[in-house]
Structure 1
Amino acid sequence: MAARHFGPYSVDVSNEDKVLFPDTDLTKGDLIDYYEAVAETMLPHLRDRPLALHRFPDGLEGDGFVQQRASDHFPDWLDTTTVERVGSGSDTVVHPVANKQASLVYLADQAAIALHRWLARSDLPDQPDMLIFDLDPSTDDFEPVVEAARRVVQLMRDLGGQPHIMTTGSRGLHVVMPLRRKEGFDEVRDVAQAMAAHLADRYPDSLTTEHRKRNRGDRIYLDVMRNAYGQTAVAPYSVRGKPGAPVATPLAADELDDPGLRPDGFDMDKVRQRLEKGEDPWQGIHRHGVALATIRDSLGYNG
């Protein structure tokens, strides 16, 4: 066991040679090094947000699990937040929160490969500060997802929003529009559904709001169901628990035009290289928050 020091905080890391990704021989030490390296860029996207941890104590060859509650053995300095459990009315959940570089390193040492964040911050858990479209392919062809993302981006811009694009590190793309924290999840989801319906009506041959997979055909499903209390989305710069250790990676808008773009095309090394060359494409994202009322009015949606 070795200690890593971050100002007043120390993390005792162990079993750094343990292979988590057997296809590439990437170890827990590699994961820890990655999260330590990207912390400065990643932490603003996590600050004060309840997290769900996708942990793989035995690596990808074992059974992973999602952990919502902070464990009793987590150090006292690792921030937590208590929120009402979805649909309970009274029960609560104490979620881990990553506000420090040491927190990311500690969670990586717990084999928390992927971090999924709430769409709201802990001080106002009922009021999201982002609206998200989750776009996954219906077939093995990724180009329709890219084209769908272009159309979501254009609609958000037309309505007065500032869209931000991210590969998920899995199969698709997220398009996120930052919001001012003035309205609740129900209102945000209603507007997101109206936006999706608008796009599906405009592009009926390629986009759909149909929940049933068998009725979608090859059309891209405009999934806005993450816009709900207690739902999470993979965090920017999170590694995914998949072969090759792909990373959810924020994109500049013109990167949608890259013919080689893949949803799982960035790994830990590539992301570190990107960050060494330039700024985070999502830097200061929440300075661009738009009032939901602006989107609603521009869309002509009356609820």
Structure 2
Amino acid sequence: MNEAKLVHVEGREIRITHPDKVLFPDISMTKWDWILHLTHLAPWILPYARDRYLTTIRWPDGVGSESFYQKNIPSHAPDWVTSVQSGNVRYILLQDTPTLIWLANLACLEYHLSFDTASFPDQPTEIVFDIDPSVEGFERVMETALLTREALLELGLDGVVKTSGATGLQIYVPIRQGYRFEQTRRISRFLAEYLAGQRPDLITLERKVKKRGEKVYFDYLQHWRGKSLIAPYSTRARPGAPVSTPLRWSELKPSLTPQAFTLNTIHQRLTSIQDPFRAVTDPDHRFNLDDILDFLDRKQKD
């Protein structure tokens, strides 16, 4: 039996097709199981996702099958799904749980979000660094993330770290409204070049994988208009159903592995700790970049 199911979420009726289809074969997780997980994760996904341009990646036949990106809202979307035009794309805005569940029915296994919002386009809400290993292993990634935090603290900043849901870590530094991508790029490039200069044995800014050797790639270029990054608490279409999970800095220890954070473990975690990502979505917890930009201006003149 694989009959469609009708569900009612916050006053919306959503038809779940092929609920018994297996989306994560290695753990035998069906679409219905996965949708139940997402329903429970919605209160943690939505605070950051709302009002951001959404890009999804769909796997109609599950992990291991063919996939495709979707930016434009489908023509068959219900009229209650919010969308907004930006350039040549009409993006979905992930505003509520019904929209999340409707997208889940389309087998959107990954949710990637812009760095700015539809209300304030071209004004990033944070500076973001994406830290990825070039070879297998997580300890060098953690070391790079901790060095990054030390440098941020010296600049009077701080950030929240989360797993990418794959093999890396990502750091979010919440900033006050009004800065442009060109301004945040100046700061992120300065920090990236400083870290690579301090630890050339560990960190590289080289984009080509074959030229990185065993060094950790410090990606500051992904943070830009029109680009996106995996949403906090989004699943990744990988074996085990991993989840991009915000962490406490104290958790970055040798025993930590990104494989520990999956759909089957995330709910217990969220009942036992306060969400670390609240520091990013808190409007009263945002850093002023003026002094750093003034410093960079003086440095450029010298």
Distance of aligned partners of 1:255 and 1:77 in 2 relative to their CA distance in 1, 3 Å threshold = same
**Counterpart residue number, 1:56:** 59
Kept after mapping to 1: 8 A contact 2:10/2:97: no
Q: What are the within-5 Å matches in structure 2 for residues 218-237 of structure 1?
A: 218-237=214-233
**Counterpart residue number, 1:238:** 234
**Counterpart residue number, 1:12:** 15
Instruction: Answer with 64-73 or 290-299: which moved more.
Output: 290-299
Separation in structure 2 between the aligned mates of residue 261 and residue 298 of structure 1, nearest angstrom? 37
Q: Does 1:170 align with 2:149?
A: no
Kept after mapping to 2: 8 A contact 1:179/1:286: no
**Counterpart residue number, 2:146:** 150
**Counterpart residue number, 1:270:** 265
Shift of 1:294: 3.6
Which residue type is aligned with residue 158 of structure 2? Q
Which residue type is aligned with residue 10 of structure 1? E
Separation in structure 2 between the aligned mates of residue 270 and residue 301 of structure 1, nearest angstrom? 49
Separation in structure 2 between the aligned mates of residue 301 and residue 205 of structure 1, nearest angstrom? 30
Kept after mapping to 1: 8 A contact 2:130/2:171: yes
**Counterpart residue number, 2:102:** 106
Alignment RMSD: 1.7
2:8 alignment partner, SS class: strand
**Counterpart residue number, 1:291:** 288
Structure 1 segments unaligned to the other structure (5+ residues): 85-91
**Counterpart residue number, 2:38:** 35
Shift of 1:279: 2.0
Which residue type is aligned with residue 74 of structure 1? A
Structure 2 segments unaligned to the other structure (5+ residues): none
Kept after mapping to 2: 8 A contact 1:194/1:301: no
Shift of 1:162: 2.3
Kept after mapping to 2: 8 A contact 1:168/1:264: no
Kept after mapping to 1: 8 A contact 2:172/2:280: no
**C-alpha distance after superposition, 1:1-37 (max 9, x if no partner):** 2222223222121211100111111111121111100
Separation in structure 1 between the aligned mates of residue 36 and residue 86 of structure 2, nearest angstrom? 31
Shift of 1:232: 0.4
Which residue type is aligned with residue 102 of structure 1? P
Q: What are the within-5 Å matches in structure 2 for residues 131-210 of structure 1?
A: 131-210=127-206
The TM-score normalised by the length of structure 1 is 0.92
Kept after mapping to 2: 8 A contact 1:167/1:264: no
Separation in structure 1 between the aligned mates of residue 278 and residue 232 of structure 2, nearest angstrom? 11
Which residue type is aligned with residue 19 of structure 1? V
Task: Number of aligned residue pairs: give it.
Answer: 295
Question: Residue 125 of structure 1 is aligned with which of 121, 124, 128?
Answer: 121
Q: Does 1:250 align with 2:246?
A: yes
Separation in structure 1 between the aligned mates of residue 259 and residue 91 of structure 2, nearest angstrom? 28
Kept after mapping to 2: 8 A contact 1:205/1:219: yes
Shift of 1:211: 2.9
Separation in structure 1 between the aligned mates of residue 255 and residue 296 of structure 2, nearest angstrom? 34
Separation in structure 2 between the aligned mates of residue 231 and residue 301 of structure 1, nearest angstrom? 30
1:120 alignment partner, SS class: strand
Percent identity between matched residues is 34
Separation in structure 1 between the aligned mates of residue 243 and residue 218 of structure 2, nearest angstrom? 22
Which residue type is aligned with residue 292 of structure 1? L
Kept after mapping to 1: 8 A contact 2:128/2:170: yes
Separation in structure 2 between the aligned mates of residue 301 and residue 77 of structure 1, nearest angstrom? 50
**Counterpart residue number, 2:47:** 44
**Counterpart residue number, 1:65:** 68
Shift of 1:284: 4.1
Kept after mapping to 2: 8 A contact 1:170/1:246: yes
Shift of 1:48: 0.4
Kept after mapping to 2: 8 A contact 1:159/1:294: no
